[in-house]
Chains A and B, each alone.
Chain A
Amino acid sequence: MRRILEANIGLVFLFLYVPILAVVVFSFNSGEQISVWQGFTFGWYAKLFEDEALWRACRNSLMVAGVATAIATVIGTAAALAIERYRFRFRTALVRCLYLPIIIPDIVLAIALLTFYVQVRIPLGLITVIIAHSVFNIAYVTIVVRARLQGYDNTLEEAARDLGANEWQTFWRITLPLIAPGIIGGALLAFTLSIDDFVITFFTAGVGYTTLSVHIYSLLKFGITPKINAISTMLLANSIVFILLFSWFQGGATTSQRQEAQ
């Protein structure tokens, strides 16, 4: 029985990681074929730096993700505070409605926003993408901040108030610093998901407003070159940095784990 379980673990990890590793390995392949090994080179990475369209797409992605994350972090944190601290009518309805954008398939949210923009005559551009991303990002920020608030010590706030701090001071000096790791964690997750999003961007971006994901998609559709392996590897490295930052800010279990890794 144990054997079978161990074999399954190995199989699942192979399944999860062999494709990713293949992309990384072939990003150093000197051949023109994406999956036939010819020799080692850094050439594809050098080519990335000359790619004007790629950098434009990168800038767009960073801007969209940055603004959408900022909006979602503020709104999502406020929502998490309201949901965890107060009991009010429609609270359950709000929670369900808040998580619905990430429950329904991407394409439905994308189509809904697209028809809405057209009906109220908002011209498609980067703003429309930013709004779309903020909608699903609010849900993720709220989830992460709520989790932080649930393991939270209320007595510190009471102590601050007993010592004469008003609501505003308590919030800035006690509450915010205490939940900051949750807020930063939520923002990191939102930023990553925003950079990675393709489907929603694909439908809500105006013509000529290409983000990184949309750029990669058109490369995949209209001519796959080994350059894609290099772009993918860069993005993978980026994701890993973000995930490590996220676990670092979440602290606790992951701190001890990093110490072990060293």
Chain B
Amino acid sequence: MRRNYYLLILLFPVVFWLVCFFLLPLVSVFIYSFIERGTYGGVRWNFTIENYQRLFDGLYLGILWRSVSTALVCTAICLLLGYPFAYYLARYKPKHRSILLLLVVVPFWTNFLIRTYAWILILRTEGLMNSLLGSIFPNWSPLELLNTPFAVQIGLVYGYLPFMILPLYAALEQLDMSLLEAAQDLGASPRRAFWHVTVPLSLPGILAGSMLVFIPTVGAFLTPDLLGGGKVSYIGNVIERQFKTARDWPFGSALSFMLMGIVLVGTVLYFRALQQDEPKST
């Protein structure tokens, strides 16, 4: 009885806080997505599914596709850069390893706004990239790099690469090296051992890293806003516009809810893949 009393004291604040300021807000956005927009930016309390019908407009499907494909490309690039990185780091001398690891973590603690701004400095027409290329090739005519999908893609990879490296590192560091030796003793080439032992065993890290990159990038607002210059729309920007300028909250809510749907589907697939992986890794 006394035990339950302590548990109650520990649990009450978190449950209260989450219900009031997380679950109820989710319900609230859900309700908003089913009401009508008022004439002057307000809302009218009539039930409608029009906000969801509008999502299937060609325009919004195109924007949605752009967001999802950009996020997928970003995840793939992060994986390609991050996997060899984490692989090498996990086998590095333990003495210096923690310093290298710290260097990966620093960007995670650094203001995202500033890290995005740094790319404005590099990519703008009078920026460092163009002046570097200009000093190598005398006849270089400055390229318009900023405010392009390329800039957005590079900014997203930059922003979320550490989120890929850290789970990959955690998975690869725990990897039992004797299994690799066993594979090679049994005649597997290093390449075969890598694809048949290392990669499957690090799959939880690959999945976790991919989730951590895909989810924030698919809903990214700041990077497309600053590096894309609002010229190319992503779903995050469209949502922002509904709330800040267009004042169509119900439609913005429907968009947010769809975004959350995409993310939840991704999460469910993630847990599926993780469960399927489990019998193999034990």
| Interface positions of A (Cβ within 8 A of B) | 1, 4-6, 8-9, 11-13, 15-20, 22-23, 26, 33-36, 74-76, 78-79, 81-82, 86, 88, 94, 97-98, 100-101, 103-109, 111-116, 119, 131-132, 134-135, 138, 167, 189, 192, 195-196, 198-199, 203, 213, 216-217, 220, 224, 228-229, 232, 235-236, 239-240, 242-243, 246-247, 253-254, 256-257, 260-261
- For B, the interface residue count at a CB cutoff of 8 angstroms equals 83
Q: Which of B112, B121, B219 contacts A23 (CB 8 A)?
A: B121
| A140, B226: Cα distance in complex, Å | 27
Most chain A beta-carbon neighbours within 10 Å: one of B99, B109, B118, B252: B109
| A105, B239: Cα distance in complex, Å | 12
Q: Secondary structure at chain A's binding surface: helix, strand, loop or mixed?
A: helix
Q: State whether B28 touches A112 (Cβ < 8 A).
A: yes
**Separation in Å of the B164 CB from the closest CB of chain A?**
11
Q: State whether B222 touches A199 (Cβ < 8 A).
A: yes
**Separation in Å of the A36 CB from the closest CB of chain B?**
6
**Separation in Å of the A206 CB from the closest CB of chain B?**
14
Q: State whether B115 touches A20 (Cβ < 8 A).
A: yes
Q: List 10 A-B contacts (CB under 8 A).
A: A35-B126, A105-B219, A106-B216, A107-B239, A107-B259, A111-B256, A116-B21, A216-B114, A242-B109, A243-B109
B220 at the A interface (CB under 8 A): yes
B188 at the A interface (CB under 8 A): no
| Interface positions of B (Cβ within 8 A of A) | 2-3, 6-7, 9-11, 13-15, 17-18, 21-26, 28-29, 31-32, 81-82, 84-85, 87-89, 95-96, 98-100, 102-107, 109-115, 117-122, 124, 126-128, 131, 158, 161-162, 165, 190, 215-216, 218-222, 226, 236, 239-240, 243, 249, 252-253, 256, 259-260, 263, 267
Q: Which residues from B are CB-within-8-Å of A74?
A: 13
Q: Which residues from B are CB-within-8-Å of A257?
A: 95, 98-99, 102
Q: State whether A199 touches B221 (Cβ < 8 A).
A: yes
Q: State whether B112 touches A167 (Cβ < 8 A).
A: no
Q: Which of B85, B102, B114, B226 contacts A243 (CB 8 A)?
A: B102
